Amino acid sequence: QKEVEQDPGPLSVPEGAIVSLNCTYSNSAFQYFMWYRQYSRKGPELLMYTYSSGNKEDGRFTAQVDKSSKYISLFIRDSQPSDSATYLCAMITGANNLFFGTGTRLTIIP
């Protein structure tokens, strides 16, 4: 079993829809949770970072962490074509290694 599981998609939604991206994990020692956005042929870009259960909002993006269920989510409101990218979840213990999901490829259809 992988440390972090993420549905690879692809996921296609119409412009303006709410997008929900999810990851599950098995290691209860994970303390910090991140979402990265990666455009084609570019490096991953840090989108959201949180270290506790609950919600964190930044503009159209909301990151949600449920440590009891070992489940994290990223919600995108009012989705735009520019949101089309691959979204990677990542998590880390207090030590060094960052564990990534395999990424979900998202396409927003105008």
Partner 1 sequence: DAGITQSPRHKVTETGTPVTLRCHQTENHRYMYWYRQDPGHGLRLIHYSYGVKDTDKGEVSDGYSVSRSKTEDFLLTLESATSSQTSVYFCAIRGISNEQFFGPGTRLTVL
Residues contributing to the site for partner 1 (CB under 8 A): 6, 8, 32, 34, 36, 41-46, 49, 51, 88, 90, 92, 96-98, 100-103
- Closer to partner 1 at the Cβ: 1 or 97? 97
Q: Is the dihedral of CA 103, 87, 44, 5 positive or negative?
A: negative
Residues 26, 61: Cα–Cα separation, whole Å = 25
Backbone angles phi, psi at 84, to 5 degrees: -65, 120
- Closer to partner 1 at the Cβ: 6 or 84? 6
- Closer to partner 1 at the Cβ: 53 or 77? 53
